[in-house]
């Protein structure tokens, strides 16, 4: 191998050892640059005799061309490698499933509350909302349940700020019944002029759904649960009206025309007489069983008085039902706690 072949071999090795275009340009300079080895050989020609100059000159030119060809080849190889690396880095798997935006859904109990509001709304009932931290007066006393009344012990609850200077008297409401008083008092205020003039007051017809609290926890009781209160007061409202409202409501709610209703005598301090309301389905898995769904009764004269109305003139009924229970019956859920555990495997079935 002559010196020129060696030079080509050296250039090839140097070029192959480069990893970037910049390194390759540096390697090029060592052979083809102003002070590069090929250029030096050219300069050396001047000292040769004419004949030798021709052949040697042609050989050096060939050498230069071979090195230039190697350079071009390496440039291309580096460019290709760079492109491949870039493509790999930016690889996009078009067969991957798209990222989906999760679609939420209403909680089953919220669905029931919406149904309840819609059905009672269609029967002319207003929908009212009130505080969950309630005053003792609205939760108990105004509802004919004075401080020493035994019925209070059925409502073991969460009392707050009992050490406050005014004696506190706040608690997490144990039922939605305080909304009877809050709503009725507002209503009476609004129509005070008419009432004072002895004219008939527009009827009170309201439901008040919301969260309620008791110290209670098992498969059918939760420390936080929902109730929906109802109140209908006028000059001529009777149990007959209560029964027809309930029949309409439950048939609508459960989409079952042949469901039957019964009243069972009971006791509540704020109603007299009082009744538990049971329903029975004529078909389906619960066919023929009486299921307790609400408490109700004719509003007690003491409570009507606390509304600011004359119990000799105004009469009506109230009821309280459990939307959680209704939701369990509607969907066949047997453990109340499932509603409040927040487990998406359960909740997403209602989407
Ligand atoms: N507040 C009662 C409870 O939580 C339910 C109730 C019963 C409400 C009778 C009423 C009623 O309005 O008339 O157990």
Alpha helices in 18-49, H assignment, sequence order: 21-32, 37-45
- Considering only CA atoms, which of 341, 314, 132, 336 is closest in space to residue 234? 314
Q: What is the pLDDT along the chain (351 residues), one digit of tens a residue?
A: 688 999 999 999 999 999 999 999 999 999 999 989 999 988 988 888 988 899 999 999 999 999 999 999 999 999 999 999 999 999 888 898 888 888 888 999 999 999 999 999 999 999 999 999 999 899 999 999 887 777 676 667 777 766 666 656 888 999 999 999 999 999 999 999 999 998 989 999 999 999 999 988 888 889 999 999 999 999 999 989 999 999 999 999 999 999 999 999 999 999 999 999 999 999 989 999 999 999 999 999 999 999 999 999 999 999 999 999 999 999 999 999 999 999 999 999 988
- Considering only CA atoms, which of 252, 277, 270, 279 is closest in space to residue 318? 270
The per-residue pLDDT for 150 is: 73
- Considering only CA atoms, which of 298, 276, 180, 292 is closest in space to residue 228? 180
**Does 79 lie in the same domain as 139?**
no
Atom of ligand 1 nearest to the CA of 174: 4
Assess whether the C-beta atom of 232 lies below 6 angstroms from ligand 1: no
**Does 284 lie in the same domain as 344?**
yes
Three-state secondary-structure class, residue 329: helix
How far does residue 296's CA lie from ligand 1's centre (Å)? 6
Supply the residue whose CA is at minimum distance from atom 13 of ligand 1.
296
- Considering only CA atoms, which of 46, 33, 207 is closest in space to residue 122? 207
- Rounded to whole angstroms, the Cα distance separating 320 from 296 reads 6
Phi, psi (degrees; rounded to nearest 5) at 133: -90, 110
How far does residue 270's CA lie from ligand 1's centre (Å)? 8
Residue at 96 is within a domain: no
- Rounded to whole angstroms, the Cα distance separating 276 from 290 reads 11
The per-residue pLDDT for 165 is: 60
- Residue 41 domain boundaries: 3-89
**Does 147 lie in the same domain as 43?**
no
Assess whether the C-beta atom of 108 lies below 6 angstroms from ligand 1: no
**Pocket mutation for ligand 1, best pick of 156, 177, 315 (most atoms within 8 Å of C-beta):** 177
DSSP string for residues in 4-16: HHHHHHHHHHHHH
Assess whether the C-beta atom of 318 lies below 6 angstroms from ligand 1: yes
Assess whether the C-beta atom of 263 lies below 6 angstroms from ligand 1: no
**Does 283 lie in the same domain as 315?**
yes
Supply the residue whose CA is at minimum distance from atom 8 of ligand 1.
320
**Pocket mutation for ligand 1, best pick of 120, 216, 274, 320 (most atoms within 8 Å of C-beta):** 320
Domain boundary among 40, 55, 89: 89
**Does 336 lie in the same domain as 192?**
yes
Q: Are 291 and 312 in contact (CB under 8 A)?
A: no
- Rounded to whole angstroms, the Cα distance separating 71 from 215 reads 86
**Does 112 lie in the same domain as 85?**
no
**Pocket mutation for ligand 1, best pick of 296, 301, 303 (most atoms within 8 Å of C-beta):** 296
How far does residue 295's CA lie from ligand 1's centre (Å)? 5
How far does residue 199's CA lie from ligand 1's centre (Å)? 30
The per-residue pLDDT for 347 is: 93
Phi, psi (degrees; rounded to nearest 5) at 106: -75, 140
Domain boundary among 32, 57, 89: 89
Assess whether the C-beta atom of 297 lies below 6 angstroms from ligand 1: yes
Atom of ligand 1 nearest to the CA of 176: 1
**Does 164 lie in the same domain as 82?**
no
**Does 28 lie in the same domain as 173?**
no
Residue at 284 is within a domain: yes
| Structural domains in the chain (count) | 2
- Rounded to whole angstroms, the Cα distance separating 140 from 113 reads 25
The per-residue pLDDT for 167 is: 57
């Amino acid at each position: 191998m002559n010196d020129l072949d060696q030079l080509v071999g050296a250039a090839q090795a140097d070029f192959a050892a480069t990893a970037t275009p910049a390194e390759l340009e540096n390697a090029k300079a060592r052979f083809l640059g102003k002070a590069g080895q090929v250029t030096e050989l050219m300069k050396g020609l001047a000292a040769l005799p004419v004949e030798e100059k021709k052949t040697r000159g042609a050989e050096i030119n060939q050498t230069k061309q071979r090195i230039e060809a190697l350079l071009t080849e390496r440039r291309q190889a580096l460019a290709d490698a760079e492109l491949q690396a870039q493509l790999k880095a930016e690889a996009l798997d078009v067969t991957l499933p798209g990222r989906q935006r999760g679609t939420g859904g209403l909680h089953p109990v919220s669905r029931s509350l919406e149904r309840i509001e819609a059905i009672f709304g269609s029967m002319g009932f207003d929908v009212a909302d009130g505080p969950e931290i309630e005053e003792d007066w609205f939760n108990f006393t105004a509802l004919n349940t004075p401080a020493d009344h035994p019925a209070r012990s059925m409502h073991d609850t969460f009392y707050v700020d009992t050490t406050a200077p005014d004696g506190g008297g706040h608690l997490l409401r144990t039922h939605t019944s305080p909304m009877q008083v809050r709503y009725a008092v507002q209503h009476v205020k609004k129509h005070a002029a008419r009432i004072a003039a002895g004219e008939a007051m527009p009827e009170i017809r309201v439901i008040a759904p919301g969260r309620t609290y008791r110290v209670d926890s098992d498969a059918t009781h939760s420390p936080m649960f929902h109730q929906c209160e109802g109140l209908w007061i006028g000059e001529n409202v009777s149990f007959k009206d209560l029964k027809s409202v309930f029949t309409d409501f439950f048939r609508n709610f459960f989409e079952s025309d042949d469901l039957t209703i019964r009243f069972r005598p009971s006791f509540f301090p704020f109603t007299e007489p009082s009744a538990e309301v049971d329903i029975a389905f004529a078909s389906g898995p619960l066919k023929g069983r009486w299921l307790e769904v609400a408490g109700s009764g004719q509003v007690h004269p003491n409570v009507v008085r606390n509304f600011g109305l004359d119990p000799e003139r105004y009469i009506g009924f109230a009821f309280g039902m459990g939307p959680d229970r209704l939701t369990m019956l509607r969907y066949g859920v047997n453990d109340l706690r499932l509603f409040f555990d927040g487990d998406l495997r359960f909740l997403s079935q209602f989407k």
